Chain A
């Protein structure tokens, strides 16, 4: 799952070139969701349940994973086109914030993650982000759509606390429609209650 988030971010960055160069990243280069990911899922859940220090350890591991992925997928990612901001975003912290059941509060570790990305944004005043809120599948779809938005808003408020203006953040909710992990288990649900932080250069490319 960690991998998938990184690749998603990298893919998105690769695609942000705009309409003049149509997207060329083929489907089969995406990291598939599902059974094969459960080893990663286990790791992440253990990590997210552990103490604050170990969260950073996970982040470092994931950074290593990103480096490996970059080696294998470098060509399709147009790495040379990454801006300093985009490179910085992928360096130490996983750009995902996780939440408890029916919760939208950020814990200390999550605030540290937000602070990390907020600092990057403060240093790169032209960069924008998308905050994409998600929920697990339990309960009604429409309530979850609103809950995903509330989570993304909570993350946006934390970013504002660290000096990022709300005009630079686009809040989106996907509700329960885009699970990161499949299956009806506490593990999968814990991974699905999340807000993803994505680079958003859509408007600057228009």
Chain B
């Protein structure tokens, strides 16, 4: 049942060396996207394939990546390529009336050229068809084959910002845990991929469970829970592979790591005094301070964006509910009132929305609008958990179960458009959306 090396320190360190050598393994299984539901509210936009000379065959098509990103937001829908009425090569060639007749108010066009050294030069123009005006013009040089996706995500971010006034979060990364079976053994992998699930890299492989990855605010480290020593501990790992340490291995459970917005401290759950309570570790000194004292389970802390309070789950009223702890005064107040089970809080970057696991004939993701004091259930599947906001607060990534398999899904905050991300083989859990890359 348990891996037997646990009992042998020498074997353990050998295993560790093996695991660390596996860090930064390229080409893990990318997540694949299934379109679950489209929105009637999605605004049509024209995303023209980038013009190119004959023989230029980039491995990724930026226009397709951009169209998929915009669709995933739930707000926009790119005109299918075959429905494009024309393919103008320059601003001068645009017949504005032709596009407005299609109900399209915005158009992206551009070029991709391959240089002698094999890199690409990518150019984009985004046109407001109503005003007949170019609103974005941008060029990227020396783009390698592998960086093409990243440039496409940056283009998507620029378009999203132009259309919504809000910063796009497509050029970001997500972390999650995959589990598959091989010869009766379970293989867990902590992976990091682009926000659309492509470019997945495994940063840790283990035969013991991994869960709850948490990004440091600078996006360079992940804290997460590992069971590699037979019980829950918190590991801190640098994404560049330079370092990995077990930072919380106290008596009892060690779980639910949450970085403070300034990256200076980590709140986590520990039960050294008997029941699960919240503790805060100061990263510079390693000093640990107790934050809650209660016989109930207190766990799943997340920081308010201003760093002054924590939202957390406590079952002090008999069942899990969300509470808020003010760090300056030590005051606690209850936040969730609807329903008998509310857990796993996540707070939007502007502090307005609190996402949580809410039970109503199943475990769903619900959002509480803290301004209006209204709760709305966002998901229809029945085993949803681990909500995590995109850094611009526009989307929520969460774990769900479909057809007996653990998958990830994205739902937009404004509407209920859902897209499912899954691995070809095995299950995906514990998603965490990383910060802006730049």
On A, residues with C-beta under 8 Å from B are 4, 8, 11-12, 15-16, 18-19, 22-23, 25, 27-28, 30, 32, 102, 137-143, 145-147, 149-150, 153, 171-175, 177-178, 183-184, 202, 205
How many B residues face the partner with a CB closer than 8 A? 49
Q: Are B385 and A139 in contact (CB under 8 A)?
A: yes
Does B343 count as interface, using CB distance less than 8 angstroms?
yes
Among the stretches B96-104, B115-123, B227-235, B368-376, the one at the interface with A is B227-235
Contact A16 B343 (CB under 8 A): no
Shortest distance between the CB of B401 and any CB in chain A (Å): 6
Q: Which residues of B contact A174 (CB under 8 A)?
A: 209, 227
Q: How far apart are B23's CB and chain A's nearest CB, in angstroms?
A: 22
Q: Can you name the residue of chain B whose Cβ is closest to the Cβ of A11?
A: B1
User: Known contacts being A30-B1, A141-B211, A174-B227, is A146 close to B386, with CB within 8 Å?
Assistant: no
Contact A27:B320 (CB < 8 A) given known A19-B10, A184-B404: no
Give the top 9 A-B pairs by smallest Cβ distance, nearest first.
A23-B4, A140-B344, A177-B209, A146-B276, A8-B1, A146-B297, A19-B8, A142-B256, A140-B343
Let me know if B212 and A142 touch, CB within 8 A.
yes
Contacts of B253 in A (CB 8 A): 145-146, 149, 173
Is A149 within 8 A of B385, CB to CB? no
Chain B 363-400 interface residues, beta-carbon cutoff 8 Å to A: 363, 383, 385-386
In Å, the complex CA distance between A181 and B405 comes to 14
**B232 close to A143 (CB less than 8 A):** no
| Cβ-defined contact, B11 with A184, below 8 A | no
- The 21 listed contacts between A and B (C-beta, < 8 Å) are A16-B7, A30-B1, A140-B320, A140-B386, A141-B212, A142-B211, A142-B269, A142-B299, A142-B313, A142-B344, A145-B225, A145-B253, A145-B255, A146-B276, A146-B299, A149-B271, A153-B274, A173-B231, A183-B404, A184-B383, A205-B7
**In the assembled complex, how far is the CB of residue B399 from the closest CB belonging to chain A, in whole angstroms?**
9
Apart from the given pairs A12-B2, A205-B7, 19 other A-B contacts in the complex at a CB distance below 8 Å? A4-B1, A19-B10, A22-B11, A23-B4, A23-B5, A25-B4, A27-B183, A28-B184, A30-B1, A102-B341, A139-B357, A141-B429, A142-B212, A142-B300, A143-B300, A143-B320, A145-B256, A146-B271, A146-B299
Contact A143 B430 (CB under 8 A): no
When distances are taken between beta carbons in the complex, the residues of chain A under 8 Å from B38 are none
| B297 (CB) vs chain A CBs: closest residue | A146
Q: Quick one: closest B residue to A196, CB to CB?
A: B1
Tell whether, in the assembled complex, residue A145 and residue B232 are in contact, meaning their CB atoms are under 8 Å apart. yes
B319 at interface by CB-CB < 8 Å: yes
Complexed CA–CA distance, A127 and B12 (Å): 25
Q: Does B334 contact A (CB under 8 A)?
A: no
Cross-chain contact A178 with B209 (CB below 8 angstroms): yes
* Complexed CA–CA distance, A141 and B209 (Å): 11
Q: Are B7 and A139 in contact (CB under 8 A)?
A: no
Complex CA–CA separation, A25 to B7 (angstroms): 14
Report yes or no: B383 in contact with A138, Cβ–Cβ below 8 A. yes
List B residues at the A interface (Cβ < 8 Å). Answer: 1-2, 4-5, 7-11, 183-185, 209, 211-212, 225, 227, 230-232, 252-253, 255-256, 269, 271, 274-276, 297, 299-300, 313, 315, 319-320, 341, 343-344, 357, 359, 363, 383, 385-386, 401, 404, 429-430
Are B341 and A139 closer than 8 Å at their CB atoms? yes
Please report the C-alpha to C-alpha distance between residue A63 and residue B185 in the assembled complex, in whole angstroms: 27
What chain A residues lie within 8 Å of B401 (beta carbons)?
Answer: 184
Return A180 CB to nearest CB of chain B, in Å: 10
| B297 & A143 in contact (Cβ 8 Å cutoff) | yes
The prevalent SS among residues of B at the interface is mixed
Contact B227 A30 (CB under 8 A): no
**Chain B proximity of A204: nearest CB distance (Å):** 12
Residue on B nearest A32 in the bound complex, by CB: B184
Contacts of A184 in B (CB 8 A): 383, 401, 404
Question: Once the chains are docked, how many angstroms separate the CA of A153 from the CA of B272?
Answer: 12
Residue of A nearest to B232 (CB): A145
Across-interface contacts of A19 in B (CB, < 8 A): 7-11
State whether A142 touches B320 (Cβ < 8 A): no
Tell me how far the C-beta of B225 lies from the nearest C-beta in chain A, rounded to whole angstroms.
8
Q: Which residues of B contact A153 (CB under 8 A)?
A: 274
Chain B residues lying within 8 Å of A15, measured Cβ to Cβ, are 4, 7
> Could you tell me if B269 and A177 are in contact, using CB atoms closer than 8 angstroms?
no
Min Cβ gap A200→B in Å is: 11
Query: In the complex where A140-B300, A153-B274 touch, is A30 in contact with B184 (Cβ < 8 A)?
Result: yes
Given known contacts A146-B255, A150-B297, is B230 in contact with A141 (CB within 8 Å)?
no
Residues of chain A within 8 A of B313, CB atoms compared = 140, 142-143
Q: How far is the CA of A54 from the CA of B253 in the complex (A)?
A: 35
Q: Which residue of A lies closest to B274 (CB)?
A: A153
- Tell me which residues across on chain A come within 8 A of B225, comparing CB atoms: 142, 145
The residue of chain B having its C-beta at the shortest distance from the C-beta of A30 within the complex is: B184
Which A residues are in CB contact (< 8 Å) with B319? 102
Contact yes or no, A172 B231, CB < 8 A: yes
A181 to chain B, nearest CB (A): 13
Q: Which residue of A lies closest to B403 (CB)?
A: A184
Complex contact B184–A27 (CB within 8 A): yes
Query: Interface centre among A4, A102, A147, A149, by most B CB within 10 Å?
Result: A149
**In the bound complex, what is the Cα–Cα distance between A4 and B184 (angstroms)?**
13
Inside 8 A of B359's CB, which chain A residues have their CB?
139
* Cα–Cα distance between A8 and B359 once the two chains are bound (Å): 35
Query: What is the minimal beta-carbon distance from B165 to any residue of chain A, in angstroms?
Result: 34
Shortest distance between the CB of B380 and any CB in chain A (Å): 15
Which residues of chain A have C-beta atoms less than 8 A from B256's C-beta? 142, 145
Chain B residues, Cβ within 8 Å of A28: 183-184
Write the chain B residue with the least CB distance to A137.
B383
